[in-house]
Structure 1
Amino acid sequence: MSAVKPSNKAIVFFDGDCGLCSVSVRFLIKRDSRQHLYFAPLQGVTAQAILPQQYRESLRTMVYQRVSTDGQTTLLVRSEAVLLALIDTGSAWRYLAQIARLLPLSLRDWGYDRIADNRKIFFKAAACKLPSRAEHARILP
């Protein structure tokens, strides 16, 4: 795993000790055929180098550093991070994500928070599968 320049990479930051987060990362990698997205644990050195402290402290929050066509980066959190990462995979799932974005942000984030609060009950970190060689190349330290 090597560090990438934060200015030109779309990075999904996730709780590295969360089984649901690990499953979500593998789901996104599998659907991101253009290999646009990179992934980094919130507890890792990439997150420490890029993210402000308030984003790193809440391990229950997915953070997505999105890069626009003009090179500007935006940090998105919670449901907006999940949905825009799905849209950016370019897969058929982008259509469902676009429909979900029609719901009010407060309602989407309420649902996100309910799942985040219970993620470690249903998805144990010990059950995480090791990443394949292709997946490993897209996971930053």
Structure 2
Amino acid sequence: MHTNASNIKITNPTVLFDGVCNFCNTTVRFVLAYNRAENIHFSPLQSDFAKQLLAQYNLSSDDMDTVVFVQDNKAYTKSSAAFQIARHLIYPWKALYYFKYIPKNITDWIYDLIAKNRYSWFGKKNQCMVPKPEWRERFHE
């Protein structure tokens, strides 16, 4: 049975990330550590949940070169997503949010440079990260 993407209702901010990327997985663990409110949830881009949520926001599930952050019925990508995620972290990391005032073409260029090279610079896994048991309820699959 196929679930209609429009039926997905998320109540917590949600990060969609490349589940086989070592850099992305390290970043997810970083967010888990510094999101003290424990309100951010996660899903690998490779999951059915993420594919349905991407469809709901008219984003391609073929694009694994961006993180997607969904909050308050809005989807953010690339550097905009990173800055929105930073808002949910403790200081000093929360201050990264203010980099959003740098022109988007510059911050997205830096984001794209890292995204394009992430596998060669940081490596890649054969399968998606398995979250620790204490984090399991914050992951959608």
Gaps of 5+ in 1: 68-72
- The one-letter amino acid paired with 1:47 is A
- The one-letter amino acid paired with 1:55 is S
- In the TM superposition, what is the alpha-carbon distance from 1:130 to its structure 2 partner? 4.8
- State the distance in 1 between where 2:13 and 2:117 align: 27
- State the distance in 1 between where 2:60 and 2:15 align: 12
Contact 2:19–2:129, Cα closer than 8 Å, also in 1: no
Contact 2:20–2:129, Cα closer than 8 Å, also in 1: no
Secondary structure at 1:58's aligned position in 2? coil
Counting only pairs closer than 5 Å after superposition, residues 11-90 of structure 1 correspond to structure 2 as: 11-52=14-55, 54-67=59-72, 73-90=73-90
Contact 1:11–1:37, Cα closer than 8 Å, also in 2: yes
- State the distance in 1 between where 2:137 and 2:124 align: 21
Give the alignment's TM-score, normalised by structure 1: 0.83
Contact 1:26–1:135, Cα closer than 8 Å, also in 2: no
Correspondence for 1:96:
96
The count of corresponding residues between Structure 1 and Structure 2 is: 131
Give the alignment's TM-score, normalised by structure 2: 0.83
Gaps of 5+ in 2: 1-7
- State the distance in 2 between where 1:61 and 1:33 align: 24
CA-to-partner distance for each residue in 1:58-82, whole Å, 9 max, x for gaps?
A: 1011100012xxxxx1000000001
- The one-letter amino acid paired with 1:65 is V
Correspondence for 1:116:
115
Structure of greater relative contact order (alpha carbons < 8 Å, 6+ residues apart): 1
